């Protein structure tokens, strides 16, 4: 005989569990939860913060081990005849600790592979891609001030001087326009950010670019990844940044024009640093899993 209390089916009520829930349980929520859903918490894996700590710690430990080994070897080589054993051990420990901390905190080798344009490369594992570009005075990275400080890995190729787009008889390029920040792989496409002026952006490697100039235009400072401008576009104040300005146009372009802060697009410059960026993108993909 079937048990009448045994209900095989029941009416679904999505709000039945919310009637007797205490108010603190509803509103006292963490501001930065590790998991948004119970299904995520049930899956045995590292959270995004644990992943971040893991990879940061792994990078520091790897650099510290390599640097410590190099420093210890340098300490052994610097031993002199007549040194006591205590002095030799002290020299090895000091050299190994110093170089180990340097390799762990600062990836100095990165700056040997990265070009920051008119800026200085500062290496540190805490920065995106392990480095940042500190722009020289009068240069910037992008046109959007809201994201300019966040994209510190971009080179400094945009001059902050007068650019007169309407003072040339020849066809001039359109002034740069702001672009939204993409939340996909386009964020790592240099030609999405770069403003080449009177030229075309060519993606010559995975995350690098060149600006191929049209007739009548040339790269600023004759650097192939800088924007292309004609002489009539450059104002006289651009000469203070080391940009060659013709004497004829220097007088005509002093008035009007637009600031270089309105120029758009910087990108990672040509170099051998593609592997570091690919590693960073891979880490982001792991963190999202």
pLDDT tens across 188-214, in order? 676 777 778 888 888 765 446 788 998
Q: What is the pLDDT of residue 278?
A: 45
> Which stretch of DSSP H or E encloses residue 147?
helix 145-148
% of the chain exceeding 90 in pLDDT: 0
Pairwise CA distance, residues 212 & 198, whole Å: 8
User: Regarding predicted confidence, which is higher, 196 or 20?
Assistant: 196
Residue 160 has pLDDT above 80, yes or no: yes
**Closest CA relative to residue 252, chosen from 272, 228, 271, 232:** 232
Q: What is the pLDDT of residue 273?
A: 42
Q: What is the pLDDT of residue 144?
A: 66
Find the mean pLDDT for residues 247-266: 39
Q: What is the pLDDT of residue 122?
A: 81
User: Regarding predicted confidence, which is higher, 110 or 270?
Assistant: 110
User: Regarding predicted confidence, which is higher, 239 or 55?
Assistant: 239
Tell me the angle at which helices 48-77 and 85-105 cross, rounded to the nearest 10 degrees.
140
Taking a C-beta distance cutoff of 8 angstroms, is the pair 268, 207 a contact? yes
Q: How confident is the model at residue 125 (pLDDT cuts 50, 70, 90)?
A: low
Q: What is the pLDDT of residue 187?
A: 63
Find the mean pLDDT for residues 262-273: 38
Residue 261 has pLDDT above 50, yes or no: no
Pairwise CA distance, residues 186 & 153, whole Å: 16
Residue 8 has pLDDT above 60, yes or no: yes
User: Regarding predicted confidence, which is higher, 28 or 244?
Assistant: 244
Taking a C-beta distance cutoff of 8 angstroms, is the pair 142, 265 a contact? yes
**Closest CA relative to residue 208, chosen from 83, 96, 114:** 114
Pairwise CA distance, residues 151 & 148, whole Å: 5
Q: What is the pLDDT of residue 174?
A: 63
Which range has the worst mean pLDDT, 18-27, 44-53, 187-196, 268-277?
A: 268-277
Question: What's the first-to-final CA gap in the chain, in angstroms?
Answer: 50
- Which range scores top for mean pLDDT: 74-78, 204-208, 276-280? 74-78
CB count in 10 Å sphere of residue 233: 26
Pairwise CA distance, residues 236 & 139, whole Å: 16
Find the mean pLDDT for residues 100-129: 70
DSSP-assigned letters across all residues of 113-125 = T---BSEEEEE-T
């Amino acid at each position: 005989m079937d048990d009448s209390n045994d209900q095989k089916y029941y009416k679904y009520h999505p709000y039945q569990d919310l009637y007797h829930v205490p108010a603190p349980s509803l509103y006292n929520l963490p501001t930065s939860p590790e998991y948004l859903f119970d299904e995520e918490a049930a899956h045995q894996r590292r959270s995004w913060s644990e992943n971040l700590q893991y990879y940061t710690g792994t990078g520091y430990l790897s650099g510290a081990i390599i640097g410590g080994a190099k420093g210890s070897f340098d300490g052994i080589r610097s031993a002199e005849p007549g040194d006591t054993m205590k002095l030799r051990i002290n020299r090895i420990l000091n050299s190994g600790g110093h170089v180990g901390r340097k390799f762990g905190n600062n990836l100095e080798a990165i700056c040997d592979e990265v070009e920051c344009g008119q800026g200085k490369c500062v290496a540190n594992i805490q920065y995106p891609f392990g480095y940042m570009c500190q722009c020289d005075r009068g240069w910037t990275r992008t046109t959007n001030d809201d994201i300019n400080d966040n994209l510190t890995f971009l080179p400094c190729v945009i001059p902050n001087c007068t650019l007169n787009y309407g003072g040339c008889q020849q066809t001039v390029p359109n002034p740069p326009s702001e672009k939204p920040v993409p939340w996909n792989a386009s964020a790592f496409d240099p030609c999405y950010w770069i403003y080449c002026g009177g030229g075309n952006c060519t993606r010559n490697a995975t995350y690098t670019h060149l600006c191929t100039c049209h007739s009548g235009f040339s790269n600023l400072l004759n650097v192939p990844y800088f924007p292309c401008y004609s002489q009539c576009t450059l104002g006289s104040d651009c000469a203070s940044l080391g940009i060659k300005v013709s004497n004829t146009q220097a007088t005509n372009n002093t008035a009007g024009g637009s600031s270089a802060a309105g120029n758009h697009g910087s990108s990672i410059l040509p170099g051998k640093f593609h592997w570091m960026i690919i590693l960073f993108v891979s880490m982001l993909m792991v963190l999202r899993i």
